[in-house]
Amino acid sequence: MATMRDIADAVGVSLTTVSNVIHGHTERVSPQMLERIQAAIEQMHYVPNMSARALVSHSSRIIAFVETHKPQETYAGNGFAGVLLSGIENVVTRHGYFLMMRRGTDEATLRLMLNNWSPDGVIFKDCVPQSLVDFVKKQGKPCVSINTYLDDPTLIQVHAADYEGGRIATEHLLSLGHQSILFVGAVHHGFSNNDKRYEGHCDALRAAGIEPDLSHLINSLHPFAADRGIAMGRQLAQRRDFTAIAVSGDQYAVALMAGLREGGVRVPEDVSVVGFDDVDIARMCWPPLTTIRQDGIGKGTRAAEALFALIAGESPDPKDFTLPVELVVRGSTARVRE
């Protein structure tokens, strides 16, 4: 494996000059010499020693992405999570950093990981406790969170207009004449974005003169599992007390539709279904899923850009990170049958 000394000897310059080029300090290097050194680096397949660079620069060049709920086998297949990560990774890579991902519910383990790897910044997602956010802040490291509604006015929290999305989804069903509407989502389990969607759903019902019925709240377990969602759909197919379902996620909505179909219920002829996210599966399932669109790439991008702004010493306004949503009407909803 080539070293900086090998590069310096091949080009005929000092080790310091090569080091400056590798670390981006090229102000005193002529364009011709810079081109020669970069060509030698490429030809000799030189790979910088990141550990050594971290010691010199006091920067690990690592951004930690931490999900504080237990891992799920289907994570790679979770359409929205993959889109979100793509948005984050694009920004992290563009800045020349590396993305480290960790999931788990054990706060002590997460603290140990953050101590050992010393990331330059942390992006939290979902059920992060305030104590873990405070732990990172006390280390002097910047952090942002995604899908949270913590009572922390100094923390940048990137989320969709979740309440608005829940309200719009239910208003769409109400406009089609549905009055007995189930809500499916991980509500009151620490996922505050789901709580907000349910709150919007309930307020839409109340505005229509319908008091929310707790028997119409179906708490989907987390993490998502297709088999569990399909089984839930089969169970719901045995009920006759609803004509529509608002689901706090496209993956579960599509799984529910499969289970309803197995149970002899037609979508949308018998039951209308609305999802949330608008990931690819919403357009590929049958019937295509009516859903609330949020910008997953934009959410990940916004969170990562905010983190790098903090790393650079800037001070983005924490109030500016709510992304809009919109209703996308497809074939899974229809007017209630008389």
pLDDT per residue as tens digits for the range 20-54: 887 667 778 888 898 899 888 888 887 766 545 55
The average pLDDT across 245-268 equals 96
> How far is CA 64 from each of CA 61, 213, 230, 318, rounded to the nearest angstrom?
10, 41, 34, 20
Residue of higher predicted confidence among 77 and 60: 60
Q: Which residues pair with 67 in a beta bridge?
A: 103, 125
The confidence score (pLDDT) of residue 166 equals 98
Residue of higher predicted confidence among 29 and 145: 145
Going by pLDDT thresholds of 50, 70 and 90, the confidence category of residue 6 is confident
Reported as a single tens digit per residue, the pLDDT across 225-252 is: 888 899 999 999 999 899 999 999 999 9
Whether 55 has a pLDDT exceeding 50, the answer reads no
Going by pLDDT thresholds of 50, 70 and 90, the confidence category of residue 18 is confident
CATH architecture under which domain 62-160+297-323 falls: 3-Layer(aba) Sandwich (3.40)
Spatial strand order of the sheet with 217-219 comes to 217-219, 181-185, 244-247, 272-277, 290-293, 326-328
Whether 75 has a pLDDT exceeding 60, the answer reads no
The average pLDDT across 287-304 equals 97
- Extended strands (E) in 116-170: 121-125, 143-146, 156-160
The confidence score (pLDDT) of residue 102 equals 83
Asked if residues 182 and 169 have their Cβ atoms less than 8 Å apart, the reply is no
Superfamily of domain 4-48: lambda repressor-like DNA-binding domains (1.10.260.40)
Residue of higher predicted confidence among 126 and 178: 178
Distance from the Cα of residue 243 to its chain's centroid: 31
The confidence score (pLDDT) of residue 72 equals 54
CATH topology assigned to domain 162-294:
Rossmann fold (3.40.50)
CATH 1.10.260.40 domain span(s) along the chain:
4-48
Angle of the 162-175 helix axis to the 192-207 helix axis, nearest 10: 40
Reported as a single tens digit per residue, the pLDDT across 150-170 is: 999 999 999 999 999 999 999
Whether 322 has a pLDDT exceeding 60, the answer reads yes
Q: What is the dihedral of CA 113, 116, 117, 118, to 10 degrees?
A: 100
CATH 3.40.50.2300 domain span(s) along the chain:
62-160+297-323, 162-294
Average pLDDT, the chain: 89
